[in-house]
Amino acid sequence: MTSASLRTRLFLILVAATGIIWLFAIGWIYVGTKQEVESVLDARLQEAARMVASLGTGKSVAAPSAETGTDGPAETLIYERQLACQIWSLDGRLVARSRGAPSSNLGGTQTGFSDRRIEGETWRVFTLEDTDRGLRVLVGDRLGVREHLVTDIIKGLLAPTLLIVPLLGFLIWTSLNRGLRPLRRLALELQQRQADDMSPVETGRAPAEILPMMAALNALFSKVESARRHEREVTAFAAHELRTPLAGLKTQAQVAIGTSDGAIRHSALRQIMIAVDRTTRLVRQLLDIANLDALQNPGPDTRLHAGEIVGEIVDAHPAREGLRVEVDPMLNWITFSANAELLVLALRNLFENAVQHTAHPGLVRWSLERRPGEIVVAIEDEGPGIPPDELPLVTRRFYRGRHKSPSGSGLGLTIAELALRANAARLNLVNRTDRPGLRAEVILPRQAEVLHRRDGMPEPDLEIGLATASS
Amino acid sequence: MRILVVEDDPVLSDGLRAGLGMFGATLDVVANCADGRAALAASAFDALVLDLMLPDGSGLDLLAHMRAGGDRTPVLLLTALDEISDRVKGLDAGADDYLGKPFDLDELGARLRAISRRQAGRASPFLSCNGIVLDPAHMSVISGGQIIGLSRREFAVLEALMERPGVLRSKSMIEERLYGWQEEVESNTVEVHVHKLRAKLGRNVIETVRGLGYRMKVGTP
């Protein structure tokens, strides 16, 4: 295990916590015992004082005898002769004292408890005044002895503790080992796993505490796995889309070389031209996608004239027989600020898509629509449209639905969406409601401005213009 | 040979039609699985060229459907994928051979001849009967030590008959070998070609079974 071992950490915490609890318990026992011992011993002092007082007979009080006052070996045994007793007459004569009692006065004059320091020792004294007999009975014991008693009790408690602590430590350590076994098992399983093994971790008997972690791991695994699957799919599609036209080229070239029929050779060469054009477009689109994927900073936005951009795209597209392109004149009064390159890329791919799917003769229509907060440049074609179940899929790379055009690559809509997204705009694909066909809407955040046309024509009534455009 | 091509790329399928036509094959081309199934149900083919990635599904699904239905037409897969696992999957699904795109037209022709030969249970690349030897690979016919010059259609008629010497071939079956769906069948073509073949190979080589069809005569030199 490394320096940040969970086991060591838990062990230290548990041992520290147990130790602190033990210390508290001992402190508590110490205080409690001390109070108890004091009250018991105080009661004993009181009791003894009363007993001595009751024993005193009449008023004949003997003179102090030297013998009784002799200081013997008072503390040969700790708990023997704990008590010292003095009997004083009320006029202040020492009538009698027990063995081991100091000769000086132990206590005060009032009935009750008091602490006094005599000959360097603190005494706890109970004074009982008997005015009838003219006596004052003082019974006392040394506080030192009391302390000793309490300390002995605590020592008695501590001795087994010292024995138990290592045992406790051992038990904590082994239970930790047992308790952490599922974690170790998981770590081992992950360690032994192949780098490309993305199968979920077995959660069968895992404890509830590590289940969230395992669930998170499994979620991550499945995410990585699906990303990899997607990558493999894209590679497979790319291989197909690149190699199929190459196969066509090669076959047609072999036909052109091998045939002796002039018409067949001519047709083969024409097919080769078509395939080269298509492959050129595919390569361009692949490069566009690679650029969009690598795009970090799209570059500064510029003020773009919608009509000009659309005009350029339409003009650049090779004319096709029977195809009509209609551009809403409203586009000529609109500018927006966007990245020119990306916007043109998106619009061009959408336009190419529309042209590819429009049967000839047919019409591709550019229109402008203003909605609250956004302006929409729409391209409508007269193709078959997109089946509703395929609508969410068509912007995937290389996705070619049931209504695909023979010369499509499955990349145009992907490029349009990527380019628009990098431009803070959106692509919305809907099927036309008035007739079969697709309506591709480029939705730009509204910052459009109304412009004067270049040739100085007056600004049209926008509302009327829009009403005609959307009707 | 009549071959069905299931390929959605128009340039490639056009190239195959022209290229395999040069080898004397008659081609029908469809662009998706559904049309492929319909074509297989409608006519008999000597071989099927099948692309794996088709707009309405995988070529493997069509293959599985064929084999499940007991269709034994030899199948050659065209695949753009290099992964060995994909090729293994294709062969295990019942394909007889595969070619990676892009491929060589001559190799495709040779492989198609090989799988249809295997299907017919022949080991020799040549068809022979009564001293006539037909080499499908080179579209050449030798009879009596002489190379006989035949047109594409004459060759196809002779090939159809020589595949099963002595077995009756109906006129419609021979017509199917000569024309794809898109082609207009001219009436009496088979008779015309048989007539020309008899003129080039000898009168008794092909026998007419009145009202039923033709067969190669066996046993008489």
d(CA A364, CA A322): 11
3 state SS for A371-435:
ECCEEEEEEECCCCCCCHHHCCCCCCCCCCCCCCCCCCCCCHHHHHHHHHHCCCCEEEEEECCCC
Q: Find which of A232, A255, A278, A409 to mutate to test the B interface (most B CBs within 10 Å of its CB).
A: A255
The closest of A124, A112, A54 to A82, measured between CA atoms, is A124
Q: Which residue has the tokens 């080992």?
A: A177
8 A C-beta contact, residue A247 and residue B103? yes
Q: Is the pLDDT of residue B79 over 70?
A: yes
Pick from B11, B81, B104: CB nearest A252 = B11
Q: What pLDDT is stored for residue A463 in this prediction?
A: 38
Instruction: Kindly report the number of other CB atoms within 10 A of residue A205's CB atom.
Output: 7
d(CA B164, CA A219): 62
Give the residue on B whose Cα is nearest the Cα of A240.
B80
Task: Provide the shortest C-alpha distance from residue B107 to chain A (in Å).
Answer: 11
> Band of the pLDDT at B97, cuts 50, 70, 90?
very high
d(CA B185, CA B180): 9
Q: What are phi and psi of A424, to 5 degrees?
A: 65, 20
Classify the C-alpha dihedral A204-A205-A211-A217 as positive or negative.
negative
Ranges of residues in chain A whose predicted pLDDT is under 70: 1-3, 56-81, 108-109, 406-407, 447-471
Q: What pLDDT is stored for residue A130 in this prediction?
A: 80
Q: Parallel, antiparallel, or unpaired: how do β-strands A334-338 and A362-371 relate?
A: unpaired
8 A C-beta contact, residue A337 and residue A302? yes
CATH number of this structure's domain A6-56+63-69+76-166: 3.30.450
Q: Cβ neighbours of residue A212 under 8 Å, at least 6 residues apart?
A: none
Q: What pLDDT is stored for residue A213 in this prediction?
A: 85
A250 and B18 within 8 Å at the Cβ level: the answer is no
How many distinct helices (H) and strands (E) make up chain A? 10, 13
d(CA A346, CA A266): 36
In chain B, the percentage of residues whose pLDDT exceeds 70 is 97
Which amino acid is located at A73 in the chain?
Answer: P
Q: What pLDDT is stored for residue A462 in this prediction?
A: 44
Instruction: Enumerate the domain spans of chain A.
Output: 6-56+63-69+76-166, 211-292, 299-470
**Residue B76, burial from CB neighbour count under 10 angstroms (0-12, 13-18, 19+):** buried
- CATH number of this structure's domain A299-470, picked from the four choices 3.30.565.10, 1.10.150.570, 3.40.50.740, 3.40.50.170: 3.30.565.10
A400 and B55 within 8 Å at the Cβ level: the answer is yes
8 A C-beta contact, residue B55 and residue B32? yes
Q: What pLDDT digit, counting tens, does each position of A152-203 carry?
A: 888 888 888 788 888 888 998 999 888 888 888 888 888 888 877 888 887 7
Q: What pLDDT digit, counting tens, does each position of B8-61 carry?
A: 888 999 999 999 888 878 889 998 899 999 999 888 898 999 998 887 888 899
Q: Is the pLDDT of residue B195 over 80?
A: yes
d(CA B98, CA A383): 36
Q: What pLDDT is stored for residue A269 in this prediction?
A: 94
How many distinct helices (H) and strands (E) make up chain B? 8, 14
**Average model confidence (pLDDT) for chain B?**
86
8 A C-beta contact, residue A272 and residue A281? no
Element (H, E) at A289: helix A262-294
CA angle A179/A185/A189 to nearest 5° reads 165
Token pair of A293 as six digits: 């994927």
A244 and B22 within 8 Å at the Cβ level: the answer is no
d(CA A432, CA B149): 60
A244 and B80 within 8 Å at the Cβ level: the answer is yes
Instruction: Kindly report the number of other CB atoms within 10 A of residue A54's CB atom.
Output: 11
B14 and A250 within 8 Å at the Cβ level: the answer is no
A239 and B11 within 8 Å at the Cβ level: the answer is no
> Band of the pLDDT at B212, cuts 50, 70, 90?
confident
Classify the C-alpha dihedral B61-B64-B68-B70 as positive or negative.
positive
Q: Which residues of B touch A272 (CB under 8 A)?
A: 11
Q: What pLDDT is stored for residue A79 in this prediction?
A: 59
A-B contacts (CB, under 8 Å)? 93
CA atoms within 13 Å, Cβ hemisphere of A302: 11
ipTM: 0.78
**Residue B130, burial from CB neighbour count under 10 angstroms (0-12, 13-18, 19+):** middle
A410 φψ region: left (φ > 0), alpha (ψ -120 to 50), beta (else): left
A243 and B51 within 8 Å at the Cβ level: the answer is no
Q: Which residues of B touch A244 (CB under 8 A)?
A: 9, 12, 51, 80, 101
Give the residue on B whose Cα is nearest the Cα of A235.
B81
d(CA A151, CA A153): 5
8 A C-beta contact, residue B60 and residue B6? no
B15 and A252 within 8 Å at the Cβ level: the answer is yes
CATH 1.10.287.130 fits A211-292, yes or no: yes
Which amino acid is located at B92 in the chain?
Answer: D
pTM for the structure as a whole: 0.60
B26 φψ region: left (φ > 0), alpha (ψ -120 to 50), beta (else): beta
Pick from A239, A272, A402: CB nearest B55 = A402
CA of B74: how far to CAs of A100, B86, B114, in Å?
Answer: 126, 19, 10
Q: Which residues of A touch B8 (CB under 8 A)?
A: 406
User: Which of helix, strand or coil describes residue B169?
Assistant: strand
Give the residue on B whose Cα is nearest the Cα of A272.
B11
Q: What pLDDT is stored for residue A464 in this prediction?
A: 34
Q: What is the CA radius of gyration of chain A?
A: 52
Token pair of B86 as six digits: 């994909």
**Which domains, ranges and CATH numbers included, belong to chain B?**
2-120 (3.40.50.2300), 127-216 (1.10.10.10)
